[in-house]
Amino acid sequence: MTYILGALSSFLIIGVVFLFIKLNQKGNEISSHENINLTNQEERIADLIIQDKSNKEIANELFVSLSTVKTHIRNIYAKLEVSNRQEFVDKIKNQSRD
């Protein structure tokens, strides 16, 4: 049962990230100065960050180097105007409440 609840929680958070990204891509204003266009790989990495995966776990899961993951994360943070994982997660969670 714990695994099911954990999976459901992750699924809901991923849905929030997807909605956040799609709303911004369609021009709906979540924030008047944001225009977020994440690549497919950045979306996958954002989903894994939300699932609390480490950079190394993300690299292993996506079969890419740790350096590649770090580059994508820097790009995600720049697009979302955050500077660390906690700010990223907080921003996504705050968007889900709106």
DSSP, residue by residue, 42-54 = HHHHHHHHHTT--
What does the pLDDT profile of the chain (98 residues) look like in tens digits? 666 666 666 666 666 666 666 555 544 333 333 457 899 999 999 999 999 999 999 999 999 999 999 999 999 999 999 999 999 999 888 876 76
CB atoms within 10 A of CB 27: 7
CATH of 37-96, one of 1.10.240.10, 1.10.10.10, 3.40.50.2300, 3.40.190.10: 1.10.10.10
Q: Which of 90, 88, 93 minimizes the C-alpha distance to 38?
A: 88
pTM: 0.64
Cβ neighbors of 23 (< 8 A, separation 6 or more) are 30
Look up residue 96 and give its amino acid. S
